[in-house]
Amino acid sequence: MNTSKTQSKKVDYITTAIVYPNSRIHVGWAWECLGADWLVRGLRLLGRDTYFATGMDEHSINVQKAAESAGQTPKAYCDRMATDIEKVLRQMGMSYDRFIRTSDPDHEWVVSALVQKAFDQGDIYQAKYEGLYCESCEAYYTEKDLKDGLCPAHGKPPRWISEENYFFRLSKYQDRLLQLFKDHPDFLQPEYRRAEVVNFIQAGLKDFSVSRSTFTWGVPLPFDSKHVVYVWFDALINYLTAAGLEFKLKAPESAEAKEFDARWPARVHIIGKDISRFHCVYWPAMLMALDLPLPEKVFAHGYITIKGDRMSKSSGNVVAPDEVMAVSGPDPFRYYLLAENQFSQDGNFTWESLILKNNSDLANDWGNLVNRSITMARKYFPDQAFKLPASLVHSADIKASFEGLISELANAVEKIDSSAYAAACSSRSRLLNLYIDRMKPWALAKQNTPEVQAQLNEVLFTLLEGIRWLATAWMSVLPFGMPEVFSQLGLTTPPEHNALRSLVWGQVEFLPEEPKPIYPRLELKKEAL
C-alpha cells in the first residue's frame, strides 16, 4: 500500500528481520529465514521477480557488550560474526540478494539523512527520559507491560534509566495508524495478531527514544554527535537501505534509483511475533513522517520451542542450525521446519521428530517413490525413452490431480503457508505411490502382449512425469536434492523462474539414469537427544 503516492510494483521485495550478532544464530531465527527463502523461491517458481534481503542488526548495547567480552572492537567482532552467520545461511540454502549490515556505509548514510529530515521537520525533538528499559530486547516498558515485574519477552527485570535523549513524535501519528488498520485490515498477518496491535494504538501512543548517549557504537546523530541513533530507528531503516534508497536520494533519475522504485514498497516483512509492535506501529509511523510508501504486509510468525520453552539466546535454550545440518543435511532440516510447523503459529523442534519426518516423508515416501519408479522404468524398458502415450486410459485421474496442484501451491504461497505447500506436494507423492499399488507394474511386466506393454509404458511414464512435476515444486523446499532427481530422470534442472507455470503434462521425454537414494534414512546418536 502507499499512503503518499501511487507506484507500480515490479518486484516482490521480501525481507527478514535482521539478527543481533551478540551470539551465534539458532534454529528459531533459521525458521524465519527459511520461511522467507521458501516464499521467495515459491514466487520465482510462479514467475514473479523477487528481491530478498536479510542481515545483521549491529548497533546495540548487547553487541557492544559481547564484543567487549571477546576482547574485540564492536566492528571487528561484527565482522567475525557476519562471516559465521553468512556461512550458516549458505549451508541452509538461503537465496538472498543482499546481506545488509547496519555498519554498512550506505546504511549509515541513509540513517543519517532520514534522521536529519525527521529532525528538520520537527518529528524528532530532545527531552529527558526516565523509565524501565530492557537491554535484551532494546525496548522501554511501563509497569503494566511487565509480567510479574519482568520483561514479558525475556523474563528478566528491566532497569530504571534516566537520560537526555532525542524522541520521535509517535503520538502524532496515532490517528493515521488507526486509519491504516481500518483501511488495510490485512496489513498484519496472520489476522488474529492485529487486535493486539490495534489495542496498543488505541490505548494511547507515547513518543519513543531514537538516540542514546551512554554508548558510542552506532550512527552519530548528524545534529548532535554526543548521541548515537537508537537501535529501532537504525534497524528498521535497513529495509530501505537494502532496497537501494541511497541511490534514490542521491540520484533520483539514475538506473539504481529506478531499481529502488521497483522494489519498494516491500511485498512483505517476515518477522517474529515479539517485534510486531515495532514493525506495525513504529515503522509505519516513521515512513509516514518521511513521506515514504508503507510495506504491503507484515507477517509475524510464531516461536520455535524446544521442550516446551521458547528457543532464545537470552535463556540459552538454543540449538544452532549447523549442529542440526551436521546430522541431517540441509534439505531434511529445511523440510522439517517448513513442513512440520505451521508458520503462523508457534513451532517445535526435537531431534526425534526431525529424524522421524525425514525417514517417513523424504526417505520412505518421496525418496522411495523416485527410486523404485526409475528402477522399474530402466528394468522393464532398458535404454528406452519414455514419452507421452497416445492414450491415458489408466492415468487420466493422476494427470487431472497434478494439473490442480499449481493453483494449490500458488494459494499457499499467497497465504505464506509453507506447511500447506508441502502438504499439497506430499499428497501427490502419496497419490503416485498408491497408483503403483493399484496398477502393479511388476505384474504387468510379466504379460508380454502389446496391449499390456502399452499399459505398462503408460504407468511408468505417468510416474516419471509426476516425479518431474513434484521435483519442480519441491525446489523451493528441497533445493539441494532436486537437481539430483532431475539428473536421475535424464533431465536438466529447469531454470527456477516460472518453472511451475511452465509445466505442461507430457511435454518432455525421459531416459532415466541409474537411481541412487537421495535422502537416506537417518539415525540419531543417543547423546544428541
| Predicted local distance difference test score (pLDDT) of residue 351 | 93
**Rounded average pLDDT over 151-155:** 71
The Cα 404–Cα 381 span in angstroms is: 30
Q: Is the pLDDT of residue 509 over 70?
A: yes
| Predicted local distance difference test score (pLDDT) of residue 256 | 95
Q: Per residue in 101-141, pLDDT tens? A: 999 999 999 999 999 999 999 999 999 877 787 766 666 67
Q: Are 311 and 274 in contact (CB under 8 A)?
A: no
The Cα 264–Cα 255 span in angstroms is: 14
Q: What angle do CA 420, 399, 335 make, to 5 degrees?
A: 30
Q: Which three cell numbers stand for residue 456?
A: 505398462
Q: Are 384 and 339 in contact (CB under 8 A)?
A: no
Fill in the DSSP letter of residue 365: I
Q: Which three cell numbers stand for residue 81?
A: 560474526
| Predicted local distance difference test score (pLDDT) of residue 485 | 98
| Predicted local distance difference test score (pLDDT) of residue 503 | 97
Closest CA to 131 of 162, 168, 170: 162
The helix (run of H) or strand (run of E) holding residue 235 is helix 231-235
| Predicted local distance difference test score (pLDDT) of residue 323 | 95
The Cα 353–Cα 359 span in angstroms is: 10
Q: Per residue in 349-383, pLDDT tens? A: 999 999 999 999 999 999 999 999 999 999 999 98
Please compute Rg for the chain using Cα positions.
Answer: 26
Of the given ranges (6-15, 138-147, 246-255, 392-401), which has the lowest mean pLDDT? 138-147
6 confidence band (pLDDT: 50, 70, 90): very low
**Rounded average pLDDT over 396-404:** 96
pTM value?
0.92
Dihedral sign for Cα atoms in the order 170, 174, 176, 180: positive
Instruction: Count H helices and E strands in the chain, helices first.
Output: 22, 16
**Rounded average pLDDT over 201-219:** 92
**Rounded average pLDDT over 434-457:** 96
Q: In sequence order, what DSSP letters do the residues of 438-502 get, joined into one string?
A: HH-HHHHTT--SHHHHHHHHHHHHHHHHHHHHHHHHGGGT-TTTHHHHHHHHT-PPPPSTTTTTT
**Residue 148 Rama label (left phi>0; alpha psi -120 to 50; beta):** left
| Predicted local distance difference test score (pLDDT) of residue 316 | 63
The residue type at 485: V
The Cα 303–Cα 517 span in angstroms is: 33
The Cα 387–Cα 364 span in angstroms is: 27
Domains in the chain, CATH or no CATH each:
12-328 (3.40.50.620), 351-489 (1.10.730.10)
| Predicted local distance difference test score (pLDDT) of residue 2 | 47
Q: Per residue in 222-280, pLDDT tens? A: 999 999 998 899 999 999 999 999 999 999 999 999 999 999 999 999 999 999 999 99
Q: In sequence order, what DSSP letters do the residues of 122-153 get, joined into one string?
A: TSEEEEEEEEEEETTTTEEE-GGGSBTTB-TT
Q: Per residue in 286-308, pLDDT tens? A: 999 999 999 999 999 999 998 77
Q: Is the pLDDT of residue 148 over 80?
A: no
